[in-house]
Amino acid sequence: MHISRMSTLDPKDIKLLARLQKNGQISAQDLADDLGMSASQISRRRQRLEAEGYILGTPCRLNPDRLGLNVQAFIQVETRAQTNGTHQSIKRLVATTPEIVAAWTLTGEADYIFRVYCTDLAALNRLVQEVLLPHESIGRVHSQIVMDQVKDDTALPLPR
Amino acid sequence: MHISRMSTLDPKDIKLLARLQKNGQISAQDLADDLGMSASQISRRRQRLEAEGYILGTPCRLNPDRLGLNVQAFIQVETRAQTNGTHQSIKRLVATTPEIVAAWTLTGEADYIFRVYCTDLAALNRLVQEVLLPHESIGRVHSQIVMDQVKDDTALPLPR
DNA sequence: CCAATATATGCGTGATCCTTGCATGTTTAC
DNA sequence: GTAAACATGCAAGGATCACGCATATATTGG
């Protein structure tokens, strides 16, 4: 019998993932030269890592400034009653509002925090006044605007 | 004379960017079929969009759960005095600490907010106790752990 | 410790894909 | 209205990927 290894990552896997999360389009040959192995191995390892669920996808990162998305903010949201439909209701809101690019619930003052991109302060204000506050499940909101983006990778820390 | 257009985005550009920020590896032919144009045009438009700064890069997104990064948190950081070296000092800290994947300064209670990934609560605690609190520029910190990730795209809202 | 099986690797090849030149059609500017 | 700038499709050339195969290495079981 054999058990599909679901291998633990070896050092070459770690380096490969590190390179890929910097640049998902780097050629297998370049990676091969870099890691001291053949391009075909890079290709196979990459397929294996994807199949095993390490790689979620390879989206392009767009430039918010270039797109006129000049205002970035976090919006803390207090829900009303917290009936049992609240969470689904918020999920729908988040899914259908493109300005909300990410949303979490946190420990502590629980409720929700949204990360949003808008073209300007007026648009942010419209989002709050015309979309969030009128929403059935939302009580109060508190916006904090991003002044300085010190770092914004999506690069995760890797083992070792 | 001619002015390099720095074109405003036409509808095809918007659709192209939308597809690319879902999947940066989709083939030019698939995009061509999808948008009703030839693959060569897709290639050219993509090059143009990159050259004009709309596309920052195409990193792989890794799966935090699969990497054992089971704890995700936001850490609000209050700085000490705010001498003029403080910001540089924080920037260095952020740049050299892989668990901190993003960091911002916000309006209001100013100071900093870090987004961090750790393997477990013990690791998060070590980060706070052994890295952040001993740091010269950091006064107090307040950790909020992510309970539920409602949405985490990096997909920006596009015009139209 | 050895044999048998599974796994990892490099090379080479066929298929796929991207990119560029060129000719044509379309829009813009004067 | 004319000319220049621009966008487009086609086709060819070059690069890249992915797989089979043979070999080397590691792992397992007795």
Judge whether A5 lies within some domain. no
Judge whether A128 lies within some domain. yes
B53, A66 contact by CB (below 8 A) = yes
CA of A83 and C1' of C23: distance in angstroms?
A: 66
The pLDDT, as a whole number, for residue B2 is 38
Q: Give tens-digit pLDDT for A69-111.
A: 999 999 999 998 777 889 999 999 999 999 999 999 999 876 8
Q: Are B47 and B113 contained in the same domain? A: no
Helices first, then strands: H and E counts in chain B: 5, 6
Judge whether A151 lies within some domain. no
Based on the structure, what is the number of domains in chain A? 2
Query: At A26, which CATH number?
Result: 1.10.10.10
What SS3 state is found at A75? strand
CA of B156 and C1' of D16: distance in angstroms?
A: 30
Q: Are A43 and A82 contained in the same domain? A: no
pLDDT at A8 over 70: yes
Judge whether A31 lies within some domain. yes
Cβ neighbour number for residue B126 with a 10 Å cutoff: 14
Query: At B117, which CATH number?
Result: 3.30.70.920
Give the gyration radius of chain A's Cα atoms. 21
Q: Are A76 and A20 contained in the same domain? A: no
Q: Note the pTM of the prediction, 2 decimals.
A: 0.89
Q: Of A62, A90, A156, which has the smallest distance from its Cβ to B101's Cβ?
A: A156
Closest amino acid to nucleotide C30 (CA–C1'): B1
What SS3 state is found at A50? helix
The mean pLDDT of B85-104, rounded to a whole number, is 95
Domain that holds residue A35: 11-51
Judge whether A61 lies within some domain. no
Q: Are B79 and B137 contained in the same domain? A: yes
Q: Are B38 and B78 contained in the same domain? A: no
Give, for A152, the enclosing helix (H) or strand (E).
strand A138-152
- CB of A7 within 8 Å of a chain B CB? The answer is no
Burial group, residue A51, by CB count within 10 angstroms (0-12, 13-18, 19+): exposed
